[in-house]
Structure 1
Amino acid sequence: MKIIVDNVLQHLESSLSAEFDYRNVHEALDFLFRKSLNDSHTENTKVALSSVEAVLEKVWESFHTGSWADVPDGMRKLYSHASLLKTKLLLKTANDERMLKKTIKAIDMGLLMGNAFRNELTIAASLLCKALQQTFVEVPVKLCDNSKSNNNSYAFHRIGDHVPILHQPSLETFLRDYLKSKKPIKITGNMEHWPAINKWKDLNYLIKLAGARLVPVEIGSSYADADWSQKLITLEEFINIHVVQEGEKSTYLAQHQLFNQIPELKDDIRVPEYCYLADVDGEEPDINAWLGPKGTVSPTHYDPKNNFLAQVVGSKYIILYDPKWSEYLYPYDDKFLKNTAQVDPVKPDFCQFPNFSHVKAMHCILNEGEMLFIPSGWWHRVESLSVSFSVSFWWM
């Protein structure tokens, strides 16, 4: 473990020696950060740590003043830089298991909230997780009973057409019959070579590989609800408290770029070859993770990009609507929710949304090893029928 920690410290030192100037961002914070950096080269580790934590706290306060989109890039860069320094100082303080986990949290805060030194922070987190793996003790993880279906969703089977299914369609067939014509299709047989198909069923694998990593989760049945919120939690806590057993409130790791944060997990998946039929040559798809217990719901919405939803663990029930029905789905007027429907197709209120009665839907159950192509602009509601781990690939 000590060898790995020493390697991390050496790795960080070169990054911390880079030139910087944050005076145009915040002169007082620039001064305080320089002081903590200078103190880090002395025996004043505790003083330096106190100073850099003060910087992080002040920057954090600025993040929560006004809109996130309006946060200056320089402020986010300072947060990354200060997180890098905090990592070094924590490792100089101690290198036991508790301190390693605390350090990994500091790194992830820099990755999730900052916008710089991503490669340095990612490598440091990966190395420290490897050190933790040396002390990992496997504990039996038993999933809660998730075999029972959701009656509300299954009642919907009486309405709408089933999404067509193809087994390993050629690129030419997919391009001609589905991509160009913007029609949904469920594809089978294209995930058999994914290591994730077997590895991710073992929750101990995820905990051992990345249990100490900090991830954002959504709390509440729908992001459109007033009581919906978000928080940061370790992957191990999330799995043990919200996935293995059903918590009081639905909690979902949703639409998170987990594979950028934890590259080791990206080694377990493969980008569908169909994504490379993109209009924009050379552009890699946006890859997001969706992990949660039975019953998590993404309300009816549309995305501006094409989407391949790949089901790795468990199953999901998906309802889709052609963009031509947009008006009858009653999108929210709010600019942040204009791509989300007010009407719930599982329990529609026809008094409030009378035109919804004219809408025709498509639907399918997406099982392990299957992918669903959702064309851009198509409305879709997604519900987990069991503990579920999915990967989405967004592309133009």
Structure 2
Amino acid sequence: MQSSVWPRIRSLLPPTLEEFPQELGPEVDGAIVMCMKEAAACVYRGDLGRCGQLGEMIMDYSWEKLNGRNWRDVSRDWRTAYSYGCLFKVLGDCAGGLEFNKDEALRVCDMSLLLGAEIMDNVISKVIQILSDPLSKDSVETPESTTDLTHRKQKRVRDTQGNEAEAEPNGHIPEKMPRPLTPVLCANTTIPTVRCPSLEHFRQNYLIPQEAVILDGVIDHWPCMKKWSVEYIQKVAGCRTVPVELGSRYTDAEWSQSLMTVNEFIDNYILDQRPARRGYLAQHQLFEQIRELKEDIGIPDYCCLGEGDEDDITINAWFGPAGTVSPLHQDPQQNFLAQIVGRKYLRLYPVSETRRLYPFDSSLLHNTSQVDIDNPDADKFPDFAQAAYQECILCPGQILFIPVKWWHYVKALDISFSVSFWWS
């Protein structure tokens, strides 16, 4: 007995074995090439259990190659092999009938998107669409996929003193949970706000002179403004595997990265807000992985004033608890930061103030300031106090234009979900 999704997934494959791509790059070991050819043959003769076993073997062997050296030295050949291993593993699982585990299949697909290379006209993403289709009814659902959201929302969480508190029905943390103090802004440092400026007005007054500005009323029509909440993200993406940054900020010694499901991230780092548990979902692939979220956003019209095409725009997701900090840094492109959920405090410094901001000397952190904005060391960084800056509290529905290479510091004042658009 096969799972209900198998016929749809089978339709994504070439009709015959002869048409199935079987060439891997020259760096891939001959034994893995033979495994791939045998796995493909298993698909077409109906031996899908063996196909899944071979896929897992290819995945495991390729994983060692991917993790045995610096990531930039990993060849595309091995990333391609890893993706084929993931595909064969999922094909075997999807044909498994009562043993089919949809969440495990999605995890394998996500690992392919995160670590592998695109294969067969992006077949992995198409498999994910089928697996994520709410109309797909499989023989057996895993405990995670059948978890009652009401039960999840009633989980007890801990405040920063370790005391337990009940999560509210909408998934947000009760107001008695400690939050960062809202900064008091000075009139002469506040970034100006304009409502729905024309393209020409924005170009002449902000883009050409490279001046920061908050755009109001521009994204009110985006579906995310009405739909997104912790509960909604759990519903559409809870079982998906994503990379999470662990630690308060990436300049801290204890900062690291880990792969986990969105539900694990929400439970351990959004709902549990003890200072020792700081995590941040910061990912440029999130919207390619999870199409339901991508369909809820748009691209700001003002990006058309850039030199590149829409495909050249990099879209990043930033999802984390109150208190999460992005240290003072600069980006190589123009940046629209759209605030969807919660508020953020931002402080911006123009490029002309770079000398007073004391960037790190290392090539890895050359775009990051050594100064801790929350606790600046006047003795070590004497000129920092003279650096001119602008600041704002970015609220849901607003977009902040950050000119290229302007320095910016960001602190989440609430549970926050932002989307940034990098464009040239």
For residue 101 of structure 1, give the secondary structure of its aligned residue in structure 2.
Answer: helix
Aligned to 1:249: 277
- The equivalent position to 1:109 in structure 2, one of 100, 108, 111, is 111
CA 1:6–1:133 in 2, change beyond 3 Å: closer, same or farther?
closer
For normalisation by structure 1, the TM-score amounts to 0.91
Aligned to 1:145: 174
Taking the aligned partners of 1:305 and 1:43, their CA distance within structure 2 comes to 50
| 1:252-306 Cα shifts (integer Å, max 9, x gaps) | 1013321111222111111110011002355542111111111111111100000
CA 1:216–1:95 in 2, change beyond 3 Å: closer, same or farther?
farther
CA 1:282–1:112 in 2, change beyond 3 Å: closer, same or farther?
closer
| 1:348-367 Cα shifts (integer Å, max 9, x gaps) | 01112122122111110000
CA 1:23–1:371 in 2, change beyond 3 Å: closer, same or farther?
closer
- Residue 238 of structure 1, CA deviation: 1.6
Aligned to 1:197: 225
For residue 5 of structure 2, give the secondary structure of its aligned residue in structure 1.
Answer: helix
| 1:291-337 Cα shifts (integer Å, max 9, x gaps) | 11111111111000001000011110101111111122111122121
CA 1:90–1:133 in 2, change beyond 3 Å: closer, same or farther?
closer
1:143 is aligned with what amino acid? H
CA 1:72–1:160 in 2, change beyond 3 Å: closer, same or farther?
farther
1:150 is aligned with what amino acid? P
Map 1:245-324 → 2, pairs under 5 A: 245-247=272-274, 248-281=276-309, 283-324=311-352
Greater shift after overlay, 350-359 or 136-145? Answer: 136-145
Taking the aligned partners of 1:334 and 1:73, their CA distance within structure 2 comes to 28
For residue 122 of structure 2, give the secondary structure of its aligned residue in structure 1.
Answer: helix
CA contact (8 A) 2:48 2:92 kept: yes
Detail structure 1 runs of 4+ shifted over 6 Å in the superposition: none
Structure 2 residue runs of 5 or longer lacking an equivalent are 154-170
For normalisation by structure 2, the TM-score amounts to 0.86
Structure 1 residue runs of 5 or longer lacking an equivalent are none
Aligned to 1:178: 206
Q: CA RMSD in A?
A: 2.4
Aligned to 1:11: 12
Aligned to 2:33: 30
Q: Is 2:407 the partner of 1:374?
A: no
For residue 162 of structure 1, give the secondary structure of its aligned residue in structure 2.
Answer: coil
> Identity, % of aligned pairs?
35
Taking the aligned partners of 1:99 and 1:281, their CA distance within structure 2 comes to 40
- Residue 185 of structure 1, CA deviation: 0.2
- Residue 36 of structure 1, CA deviation: 2.9
CA contact (8 A) 1:160 1:360 kept: no
Aligned to 2:363: 335
CA contact (8 A) 2:196 2:215 kept: yes
Taking the aligned partners of 1:281 and 1:33, their CA distance within structure 2 comes to 37
Greater helix fraction, Structure 1 or Structure 2: 1
Aligned to 2:66: 63
CA 1:5–1:244 in 2, change beyond 3 Å: closer, same or farther?
farther
CA contact (8 A) 1:160 1:363 kept: no
Greater shift after overlay, 302-311 or 328-337? Answer: 328-337
Aligned to 2:247: 220
Greater shift after overlay, 12-21 or 252-261? Answer: 12-21
1:193 is aligned with what amino acid? H
Taking the aligned partners of 2:15 and 2:43, their CA distance within structure 1 comes to 14
CA contact (8 A) 1:138 1:204 kept: no
Query: Aligned residues, how many?
Result: 392
CA contact (8 A) 1:143 1:245 kept: no
